[in-house]
Amino acid sequence: MLDIREIREKPRELEERLRTRDASIDLGPILRLDEDRRRLIGEVEELKAERNRGSQEVARRKKSAENAEDLLARLSQVSARITELDGDLRRVDEEIEAIVQRLPNVPHASVPVGAKDAKVILRTVGDAPRSGSAVRHHLDIAEEKGLLDFKRAAAIAGARFPMYVGAAALLEVALIQFMLTHHARRGYTPVLPPFVANEESFFVSSQLPKFADEIYHIEKDALYLNPTAESLLVNLHRGETLAATELPKKYVAYTPCFRREAGSYGEEERGLIRVHQFNKVELFKFTTPESSYDELELLIADAESVLQALEIHYRVALLPTEDMAQQASKTVDLEVYLPGQGRYYEVSSCSNCEAFQARRGNIRYRPSAAEKPTFVHTLNGSGLATSRLMAAILENNQTADGRILIPRVLQAAVGTDAL
């Protein structure tokens, strides 16, 4: 969430930068409401001062046995007006809050301006994958081998819920275990959080109110199914003031993730590319503002290290302004190539949200004992999502005799070197 004071102090600069994300953004209504708010506050303060002076005068008159009825009548009018203005002020505050909550974060200066096609490929890592008619789509080969059973999953839960069977189930669990342990060894504290969260938690993470239609809501219990562990981990220190010596705080969590994924995506609807449920290992950091962009580079490297360990070809892409999540100031994606479809797919988005989420969750740190607390910066990144990673293994590791080679670091856990 943006700071209303910053909007007030440099509205033209902020509006110009925000419009690179959404050309329809207009800060005019917020500024007008903010003027109304300050006017109302000024009027309330003047009336309260008058009421205080009047109360003192009433006390003096009563002590001197003087008549104070006219003054009491005036004070009654003043109190009624204060109550009325307080109501107006609450309504204006609510209007400002409703608008500010839906504004995206201000993009970092290094972020390219534009839509999806404006993304910048920063680097490509590993040998180019084999492609051509001999490479089969992951769904086709997985169903033939009995590794994925979408038909029975649909009977249980509905379309686009995956079910891993046999060696694929072992491979899925091996991926999760490997990534959780791998990141713990790199200094992240492992967390197994609840898989649901309340409305306040989803507000802090920025899923609410803007993306309410995209997440599963358990109305009876006022809870939401987790779409990404970012929504949970950002709330670990909600309402807390951390010591500078505690930062950066680094967490890694495993959760299943649930997303509506509404709409039609053509080829993406086949298999594991866009499903309603998938597993993910998530990385999260709380940092100082001064170190957050250095920490972003380290977080990207940590996510990349998984792909390197799995020996999967990938590329690194800097997302443009119109393609970032609401809370992000800068996002770098890791993309794996699926030769069965002839295109790259994102398996990790690593973002610096700066103080956007921290302001919503009142998460601060004290730079030193003599300084006032200030907001931390929050960073998140998949480390990684398993569904597309599984698709990448199935499509990139096919052999001429129809087997699927298992990455060496997972072979012991799965109990074989090929499917």
- In DSSP terms, 257 is beta-bridged to 278
Q: Of 201, 231, 329, 349, which is the active-site residue?
A: 349
Catalytic residue among 17, 21, 160, 259: 259
Residue 45 among the catalytic residues? no
User: Of 43, 199, 268, 346, which is the active-site residue?
Assistant: 346
Spatial distance between the Cα atoms of 136 and 271, rounded to a whole number of angstroms: 12
Q: ∠ at Cα 337 (335, 340), nearest 5°?
A: 145
Catalytic site includes residue 259: yes
Is the distance from CB of 272 to CB of 388 less than 8 angstroms?
yes
Annotated catalytic residue 359: no
* From 17, 21, 160, 274, the catalytic residue: 274
Contact 184, 222 (CB under 8 A): no
The CA distance from 298 to 284, in Å, is 12
**How far apart, in whole angstroms, are the C-alpha atoms of residue 182 and residue 301?**
13
Tell me, letter by letter, the H, E, C secondary structure of the chain. Answer: CCCHHHHHHCHHHHHHHHCCCCCCCCCHHHHHHHHHHHHHHHHHHHHHHHHHHHHHHHHHHHHCCCCCHHHHHHHHHHHHHHHHHHHHHHHHHHHHHHHHHHCCCCCCCCCCCCCHHHCEEEEEECCCCCCCCCCCCHHHHHHHCCCECHHHHHHHCCCCCCCECCHHHHHHHHHHHHHHHHHHHCCCEEECCCCEEEHHHHHHHCCCCCCHHHCCEEHHHCEEECCCCHHHHCCCCCCCEEEHHHCCEEEEEEEEEECCCCCCCHHHHCCCCCCCEEEEEEEEEEECHHHHHHHHHHHHHHHHHHHHHCCCCEEEEECCHHHCCCCCCEEEEEEEEECCCCEEEEEEEEEECCCHHHHHHCCEEECCCCCCCEECEEEEEEEEEHHHHHHHHHHHCECCCCCEECCHHHHHHHCCCEC
**274 is known as an active-site residue:** yes
Catalytic residue among 201, 335, 388, 395: 388
Report the C-alpha gap between 82 and 84 in whole angstroms: 5
Residue 46 appears among annotated catalytic residues:
no
Positions annotated as catalytic residues are 259, 274, 346, 349, 388
